[in-house]
Structure 1
Amino acid sequence: MTAVDVRESVQPSPPVVDLSRGPSLRDSASQTVDMAWRALIKMRRKPEQFIDVAVMPILFTVMFAYVFGGAISGDVSDYLPLMIPGILAQTVLIASMTTGTQLRDDMDKGVTDRFRSFPMSRLAPLAGPMLADVLRYAIAIVLTFSTGWVMGYRPDGGIFGVLGASALLIIAGWSLGWVFCWIGSIARSAQSVQGLSMMIMFPLTFLSNAFVPTDTMPGWLKAFADINPVSFIVTAVRDLANNGTVTGAVGWSLVACAALIAVFAPLAMIGYSRAR
């Protein structure tokens, strides 16, 4: 045996990576943060993704206040405590639709095929962008409260009431994002995701107590609006921001958010894994 053969025989063999084992919880968390950072970079390069959270809150707040304020409450200033929480819920929930659209767009471009070929968590490509969307929700909330403040809205719940309402809205947007994430995993195109999402969100938003009291609705419509999850969220935001109180509506809103995550997060992961 030559010296070269001896050196080659004692060289350590390369480590064997067991691809059959899934990533650990720590790896999944790290990969989720990486995917969130990737989504933030995409947002920076495509600022048009902020239009729905940067323009819509201001536009809807001004438009709804001056168009409906006098007719519903008799005065714009009296309408603001009723309307601002509704605008907040509408803006955050509509912003959550972007999650499914972006997921479907990545699938159409083959990006998710590369992710699935890596030994990485199946949760990270879904939860990462949704974690980054928290920034978009926060921007929408700050702009809506700021616009309302300029127009004369003064939340009597104080800073803690406003922060509590903001936290609840972020949780609601994040939990509903799993619904649209599931839709994005099973839809055929980004355009179809957007269309289906609008068909879901607009009835839920407008057939609620977001902009008008449910007492003015017909009986059958009032019955639906009273059990509409959006109505619970809007009522909870009003209680927190306007009064600084934690009521039953806050608890029911959190229960609804937990139920959405429990049902649609697994469905989204299954749809993502099976999508082609």
Structure 2
Amino acid sequence: MMWTTTVLLLLVPHLLSSTETGNSANFNESDIVDEDFSDAPVKGQKVAGGVKGRDTCSIPCDITVKLLRDEKHSICGQLQQTLLAFGRSTRKLIRDVMEEQQRALDILSTQVTELTTKVQTLNSEVQRSNTEMYSIKPVQSHGRDCSDIKDNLMSVVPKIPSGIYIVHPENTDSSFEVFCEMDYMGGGWTVMQRRTDGLTDFKRPWADYVDGFGHLAGEHWLGLKKVFHIVNQKETRFQLHVALVSQDDVTSYASYDDFHLDNETQFFCIHLGRYSGSAGKKSH
């Protein structure tokens, strides 16, 4: 390079006269100066090379800084736009998932409502069916209990239907309705209790069990007072028969050959005779 060659020439000793030396020095200095100016970078001109350690800048620093700043702002803007787009897509995905879950919940809620309505309708139909099945109007009293009614009607009616009848036990001032079972085991049974479909709540206070509850044509409890009047008539003896049917249609029964109750002051204490049947261990 021009600068390096000049430096080497200055280091070579010469045997010249002082005049020559001065001229030579002047010449060389002039040459060096000319070379310095010739090698100085012109603004906007790219320099091919330089001395190690010297900073060279082909573009002014303020422009470079501005370009770098603009490039940084551009990258930051692109990154911000990317993050915003990602946020929007994520929110849309979450919103779509929530809407889908809400639609599923709405469908499930509708199905549950429809099922509840169907169950209520079915219960109503079962109650109406039971009522229609035993919708025999009460007739005038024909006896003191269902067995007495059977004996009285057998001579005039060839087939005595099961249903609601009016009985008037001895030593009572009033008559009341009962359901008489005229088909099971020869008929003549006064039904004290019937539980079949669970539509009637049997978790009742003591007063309800004293007076009775439910519908005679369906599930019911006749009432301790009425049962007491029936089974404590003079010169009568009653048998208690309990028929059971399991959910898988297995039947069993418990029968007691004697049955009567104490009065209300003794809380209708029950008295049972000899046990027979298939319902398991007997109790007294």
Structure number with the higher helix fraction is 1
Bigger share in strand: 2
**Same fold per superposition (TM over 0.5):** no
TM-score bin (small chain): under 0.3
User: Considering only CA atoms, is the larger Rg found in Structure 1 or Structure 2?
Assistant: 2
- TM-score when scaled to structure 2? 0.27
Instruction: Between the two structures, name the one with larger relative contact order (CA 8 Å, sep ≥ 6).
Output: 1
